[in-house]
Amino acid sequence: MPPTESARRSAVNMLDQILGEGRLMSELLGSGALERLPPAERARAQRLTTQTLRGLERADKLLARHLRKSPPLHVHNVLRLGTVELALGGDAHGVVNDCVGLVSGHKKFGSLKGLINAVLRKMAVEGPRDWDSLRAPQMSKWLRDPLRQAYGADAIRGFEAAHFAGAPLDLTAKGDAAAVAQAVGGTVLPTGSVRLQDAGQVSALPGFDTGDWWVQDAAAALPARMLNVQPGETVLDLCAAPGGKTLQLAAAGANVTALDVSAYRMERVVENLSRTKLTAQITVGDALTHEGGPYDAILLDAPCSATGTIRRHADLPHARDGAEIGELISLQAQMIDAALALLKPGGRLMFCTCSLLPDEGECQVDEALLRHKSLTVDSSARDVPGVDPAWHTSEGGLRLRPDYWADQGGMDGFYMALLRT
């Protein structure tokens, strides 16, 4: 008889695939990893997985005191999950018994249930006592080294503190941000996004069903604000899914074409357009071969390493090793060139990436300016409410970092620059 599915069992299974196979959580969720769980347990499984990944270094330090050698990955992940739960105040009896039960009937690992019981009983004492004395977990070396070179050691410690703290929920209002903030119990950030520290179930928040807002990190909302589209302008949103920027452009009154190569991901864009009662032309296709336009403006949120989103996607540095970054940098340059060819004379291109790596941001713009002699960076586009001059970059763009707004919950790492032909 197959084991009963539970939030903890599902979380351990996802940890096995993220840490053992390099799978991303988004891939696992998209392939139905949690579909057998009811909604509340599904959310709990995601939370347990994310908490364990965030606290992995701390958990391993605590566990190393009592493990002569690393156990098999599956067993190690049970111990890691249990340690994190216990350290964060989980009920010792329930956590220990359930974690033992996760392996007790396992053909390969059942004999290790005694190890799990003994170690986690020690963690029930040591975890809550020692957890906060350990440093914020460090990023993987493949990412930490180039970021430390770019920003310095102090900034990196700020990044890591923000990653470990996680992210509050940010909303973009279709209309009045202050009214949305009052309705959902949030606050309006300096740049106009609405932030909730303890949101709970998103679909249960006031205004969800009526489409008054959509989920979008405050940093991710800035490129469309800088682009400043006007009613009636023709605008192309390249690499549009999951659609937050499409919604912003449509809400501003532009005639929007949303293009993405993934039909599956575009389904979410269609759903959000329907919920918010906004319209855009949906096109599934390759940004490098698109033949529409010419457009007044283009927003290119280019494929990237997504290293700016770790505070929300704790799996990313564990599932990736940086091997794909060179290929992504080449693709970004190709996309910039293709987008420029789709603009009307005098048109504008917003280039942005949710990456912390300068090679995927500032350096891309520097090199685009060398390739296209008539291209300029419109530094005045940065003059939008709430933008701190400290975020300005020398070539005319904005560099956002997770350690900015630290006392308010941080923001995603992002780079953006408005280019004019």
Say if residues 306 and 355 touch (Cβ distance below 8 Å).
yes
Q: Residue 184: pLDDT band by 50, 70, 90 thresholds? A: very high
Contact 16, 77 (CB under 8 A): yes
The answer, yes or no, to whether the previous bond of 206 is cis (omega within 30 of 0) is: no
Break the chain into its structural domains and give their ranges.
7-133, 218-420
Instruction: Determine what percent of the chain is predicted with pLDDT higher than 90.
Output: 94
User: CATH top-level class for 218-420?
Assistant: alpha beta
What average pLDDT does the chain have? 95
Q: Residue 333 is which amino acid?
A: A
Q: Is the pLDDT of residue 256 over 70?
A: yes
Helix (H, G, I), strand (E, B) or coil at 152: coil
User: Does residue 1 carry a pLDDT above 80?
Assistant: no
Check pLDDT > 70 for residue 2. no
pLDDT digits (tens, 9 = 90+) for 63-118: 999 999 999 999 999 999 999 999 999 999 999 999 999 999 888 999 999 999 99
Nearest to residue 76, comparing CAs of 161, 127, 15, 145? 15
pLDDT value of residue 3 = 54
Between 136 and 201, the more confident residue is: 136
Give tens-digit pLDDT for 374-394.
999 999 999 999 999 999 999
Distance CA 116, CA 74 (A): 11
Query: 354 near 309, Cβ under 8 Å?
Result: yes
Is pLDDT above 50 for 408? yes
Catalytic annotation on 363? no
pLDDT digits (tens, 9 = 90+) for 127-138: 999 999 999 999
Query: pTM of the full predicted structure?
Result: 0.93
CA dihedral 257, 223, 288, 341 (to 10 degrees): 90
User: What pLDDT is attached to residue 115?
Assistant: 95
Over residues 178-182, the mean pLDDT reads 98
Spatial distance between the Cα atoms of 198 and 328, rounded to a whole number of angstroms: 35
Instruction: Give the helix/strand (H/E) hosting 347.
Output: strand 343-353
Q: Nearest to residue 77, comparing CAs of 140, 120, 37, 26?
A: 120
Could you please report the per-residue DSSP string of 240-293?
Answer: -TT-HHHHHHHHTT-EEEEEES-HHHHHHHHHHHHHHT---EEEES-TTT----
pLDDT digits (tens, 9 = 90+) for 323-352: 999 999 999 999 999 999 999 999 999 999
Active-site residue, from 239, 304, 354, 363: 354
For residues 270 and 103, what is the distance between their CA atoms, to the nearest angstrom?
42
Q: How confident is the model at residue 4 (pLDDT cuts 50, 70, 90)?
A: low
What does CATH list as the number for 7-133?
1.10.940.10
